[in-house]
């Protein structure tokens, strides 16, 4: 079964992951952004030295930029920029996969909050733009490329979502529906989110027969306090390993995607993700596969509207100092 590697022993089918509770930075210049990039690279080296069996090291959301919500060009990254190039080279140098966070320049609108998975040859394996920015606090452009999955270490299938994404059960369901056995969730959350962080990480795992690996930034930048609390959850919803609030701790666990595949094939009453599209298969052949959910049909038709829609108070970022936007969202314009 999956383990916290207290004996440092890796099984043939295992994927050893490290979740880095990186100390919360506060960069505001290009030089400070580069210094923080070097700090992340140092932690990649620490990961390799401390756990030679590690396949993948995961860094939290905001690990380069901190929580300032600064959208000025000097603090933004590009996929072909020096910061990403340095992270790719570090993965090559240390022969390890890495999961990273950047605030990505967008010439057509607000920056994207983007996540990257890079393999041990320096190749970009997964590129994701955060679908659900933490409104009304975050100014990031809503992601426009869906939720990709990629082949990960040792034949695993990985997905990546970012922070507030994990509060929407549809996000985890999409990851699993596309084949993810391990869903990574990177975050910059602060302590008031602690309860929902834990229960969503567990529910996202159990309801989709999927292992989840989640980590926040950690410590204080003098204004905000991030909570760390890395967390691995098994496909039955039971936590495997949990971190603390100690900054720069790397929390490790071995995950077993082969056991996820086994459960998805053989489980009956708790095979929730299969049953969702095959309702009542004992009564009717193959089960009912209709879309019985009003909110899904309305969203697809562009008419999603809550019964209390007109009473919602926060519908833009003005409460947090952002000017109300004037342009409409157009899918595919970026």
pTM of the model: 0.96
pLDDT for 181 beyond 70: yes
pLDDT for 33 beyond 60: yes
pLDDT computed for residue 1 by the predictor: 44
Catalytic one of 130, 175, 242, 252: 130
User: How, if at all, do strands 211-216 and 182-187 pair?
Assistant: parallel
> Catalytic: 253?
no
pLDDT for 24 beyond 70: yes
Residue 56 DSSP class: E
Closest CA to 161 of 203, 125, 122, 212: 212
Residue 44 to residue 250: CA distance in whole angstroms = 10
pLDDT computed for residue 331 by the predictor: 79
The vertex-8 CA angle with 172 and 122, nearest 5°, equals 55
> Catalytic: 174?
no
Strand ranges, E, within the chain: 15-21, 56-58, 97-104, 112-118, 124-129, 149-151, 157-162, 182-187, 211-216, 218-220, 225-227, 231-233, 239-242, 249-255
Q: Domain spans of the chain? A: 15-276
Number of helical (H) and strand (E) elements in the chain, helices listed first? 7, 14
Catalytic one of 163, 216, 252, 253: 163
Q: How confident is the model at residue 3 (pLDDT cuts 50, 70, 90)?
A: low
CB 196 within 8 A of CB 164: no
> Catalytic: 91?
no
Catalytic one of 10, 61, 175, 181: 61
Query: Of 3.90.76.10, 3.40.50.300, 3.90.1170.10, 3.60.110.10, which CATH number belongs to 15-276?
Result: 3.60.110.10
pLDDT computed for residue 325 by the predictor: 95
pLDDT computed for residue 333 by the predictor: 67
Q: pLDDT tens, 45-90?
A: 999 999 999 999 999 999 999 999 999 999 999 999 999 999 999 9
């Amino acid at each position: 079964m999956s383990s916290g590697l207290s004996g440092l022993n890796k099984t043939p089918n295992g994927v050893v992951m490290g979740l880095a509770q990186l100390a919360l930075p506060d960069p505001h210049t290009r030089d400070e952004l580069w210094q923080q990039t070097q700090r992340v690279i140092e932690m990649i080296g620490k990961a390799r030295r401390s756990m030679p069996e590690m396949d993948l090291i995961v860094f939290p959301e905001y690990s380069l930029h901190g929580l300032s919500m600064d959208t000025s060009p000097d603090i933004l990254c590009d996929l072909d920029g020096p910061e990403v190039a340095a992270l790719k080279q570090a993965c090559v140098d240390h022969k390890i996969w890495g999961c990273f966070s950047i605030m990505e320049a967008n010439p057509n609108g607000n920056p994207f909050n983007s996540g990257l998975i890079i393999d041990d040859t320096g190749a970009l394996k997964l590129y994701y733009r955060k679908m659900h920015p933490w409104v009304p606090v975050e100014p990031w452009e809503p992601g426009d490329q869906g939720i990709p999955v990629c082949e990960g270490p040792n034949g695993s299938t990985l997905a990546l979502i970012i922070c507030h994404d994990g509060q929407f059960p549809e996000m985890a369901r999409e990851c699993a529906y596309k084949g993810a056995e391990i869903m990574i969730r990177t975050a910059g959350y602060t302590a008031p989110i602690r309860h929902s962080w834990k229960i969503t990480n567990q529910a996202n795992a159990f309801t989709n027969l999927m292992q989840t690996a989640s980590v926040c930034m950690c410590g204080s930048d003098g204004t905000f306090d991030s909570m760390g609390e890395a967390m691995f959850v098994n496909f039955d919803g039971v936590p495997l390993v949990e971190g603390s609030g100690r900054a720069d701790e790397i929390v490790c666990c071995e995950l077993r995607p082969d056991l996820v595949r086994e459960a998805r094939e053989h489980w009956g009453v708790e095979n929730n993700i299969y049953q969702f599209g095959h309702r009542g298969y004992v009564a009717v052949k193959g089960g009912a596969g209709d879309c019985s959910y009003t909110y899904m049909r309305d969203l697809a038709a562009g008419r999603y509207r809550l019964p209390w829609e007109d009473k919602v108070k926060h519908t833009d970022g003005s409460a947090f100092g952002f000017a109300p936007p004037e342009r409409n969202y157009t899918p595919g314009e970026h």
